[in-house]
Structure 1
Amino acid sequence: MRTVLFRIFFYGVSIILVLCVPFAALFGGRFLRAYSNFWAWTMQWSLHAIVGARLRIEGTVPEGQLLFAGKHESYFEALELTRILHSPATVMKRELASIPLWGWAAQRYGTIVVDREANATALRSMMRAAQAARASGRSVLIFPEGTRVLPGEAPPLRSGFAGLYRALDLPVVPVAVRSGSVWPRKGLMRPGEIVFRFGEPIPPGLPRREIEARVHAAINALNG
């Protein structure tokens, strides 16, 4: 019943918000980012009120321009982290960017589009977009394992993360997430606690093998 009620309410509100995006976009990127934060707040409120989910944040949410690397188990962190982190430029799969209206709005918001099976040209395009985000003063958020995974799964990082780390030359803040037990990729939602754990910033300039190992371990710190 919780799952059904949440889907009716949240997805019903989401359809209205997405349909109104073209009007929000007329007021510029800053207003569109505030609009997105309202959507994230609506999601968090409905998840708490209807499903019985609670969010707990461990560690300190750092300030300044950073590269955030997060675990991805549910749709929750894809929206909520953008609100908590003050609207970073988020790396998004091209399949999502191709959705009518939603994809257009996401690119107006300032997302960075990447192909899942990226060739060299696509990766260079992603780097240019990321560097433009840095030049504008925004942080960047990436889910380096590439897609949502089940709780306990720890696939290797996608190759694009190391290139992004090198190109941006920013400290990396890993974010471990436990959300899949409350909002699973498939199946019924359950009351419980969603956890975001912010790790210590990792300095730029490390060798690829070292940065990938450190980030992979940190974002999977809540597994099990």
Structure 2
Amino acid sequence: MRYALALVRSILFWIAFVIMSSICSIGAVVALPVSHHATRWFVRLWAQFHRLICRFILGHRVVVEGAMPDTPVLYVFKHESAFETIEQPMLFRWPAVFAKEELFSIPVWGQAARFYGLIPVDRDGGGKAMRAMLAAAKAALANGRPLVLFAEGTRVPHGQAPSLRAGFAGMYRMLGVPVIPVAVNSGVAYPPRRWVKWSGTITYRIGETIPAGLPRDEAEDRVWRAINALNPPEALETVSE
């Protein structure tokens, strides 16, 4: 019975999400030559609508423990599902999110994302790609935008705690800004790579701000522990051994 209800809810959710995603992506692209603000409005509308259908169709409740200031710092989020990626334009006024290069090839959506100011991450691009990514990140900070990085590099099921990708250490050292880690447990109700979603509570837990200039090992350890704060304790103990 529980699965049947989740299945029906998920079907309705995906129908609504695909329709609204198409409308907002087309609207954002059409607005490109007209107004930057209009494009950003469509992107924010998309995120707000996603939160709305998660609440009233899937039965999600979202809890935020702590404050996420909308300032030019580097946020590092736990990455358990697409939920927290879609949420970014609603959590912040105009975030600069690091996103996989291949996402920018999606028709319409990719064009809108590039114009909005998402930062492409080309892992095979070498030094040239790294310099372009760093320049885009610095420009975003200069405009007062928070940077958002999913330092694990890919979605991981709830309870898993992989090491941070090497890219975090490079960004942390070269940008020289504080880091705010955010734990998320979205993978329970919104599991990665599965189209059936479940009702439940999704929590954001904001960790202690990590100052710039720490040794690499210390910074990575503090971020890793903070973003995994919502994992079962035994999962972290297993990884630490």
- Identify which of 208, 215, 219 aligns with 2:216: 208
1:187 CA displacement: 4.7
State TM-score, norm by structure 1.
Answer: 0.95
Stretches of structure 1 that go unaligned for 5 or more consecutive residues are none
Q: Tell me the distance in 2 between the aligned counterparts of 1:30 and 1:209.
A: 40
1:123 lines up with 2:130 in the alignment = yes
The correspondence of residues 7-18 of structure 1 with structure 2, limited to 5 A, is 7-18=14-25
The correspondence of residues 91-110 of structure 1 with structure 2, limited to 5 A, is 91-110=98-117
Please list the CA deviations of residues 150-192 of structure 1 after superposition, one character each: whole Å capped at 9, or x if unmatched: 1111111111111111222111000000101111111521110
Residues 154 and 220 in structure 1, CA contact (< 8 A), matched pair in contact too = yes
The alignment partner of 1:113 has SS state of strand
1:33 CA displacement: 1.9
Question: Which segment is superposed worse, 109-118 or 185-194?
Answer: 109-118
Q: Tell me the distance in 1 between the aligned counterparts of 2:32 and 2:128.
A: 29
For residue 183 of structure 1, what is the aligned residue in structure 2?
190
Q: Tell me the distance in 2 between the aligned counterparts of 1:17 and 1:36.
A: 7
Residues 123 and 160 in structure 1, CA contact (< 8 A), matched pair in contact too = no
Q: Which has the greater radius of gyration?
A: 2
Closer/same/farther in 2, CA of residues 88 and 179 from structure 1, 3 Å limit? same
Question: Which segment is superposed worse, 114-123 or 163-172?
Answer: 114-123
For residue 36 of structure 1, what is the aligned residue in structure 2?
43
Please list the CA deviations of residues 30-71 of structure 1 after superposition, one character each: whole Å capped at 9, or x if unmatched: 332222111111000001110100100001222422110001
For residue 193 of structure 1, what is the aligned residue in structure 2?
201
1:28 CA displacement: 3.1
1:118 CA displacement: 4.8
Residues 134 and 168 in structure 1, CA contact (< 8 A), matched pair in contact too = no
Q: Tell me the distance in 1 between the aligned counterparts of 2:118 and 2:95.
A: 8
For residue 52 of structure 2, what is the aligned residue in structure 1?
45
Aligned residues: 224
1:87 CA displacement: 1.8
- Identify which of 118, 122, 142 aligns with 1:135: 142
Counterpart amino acid of residue 124 in structure 1:
R
Identity of aligned residues (%): 45
1:29 CA displacement: 2.8
CA RMSD of aligned residues (A): 1.4
Question: Which segment is superposed worse, 24-33 or 100-109?
Answer: 24-33
Closer/same/farther in 2, CA of residues 39 and 104 from structure 1, 3 Å limit? same
Counterpart amino acid of residue 38 in structure 1:
L
State TM-score, norm by structure 2.
Answer: 0.88
Counterpart amino acid of residue 218 in structure 1:
A
Closer/same/farther in 2, CA of residues 28 and 162 from structure 1, 3 Å limit? farther
Closer/same/farther in 2, CA of residues 22 and 40 from structure 1, 3 Å limit? same
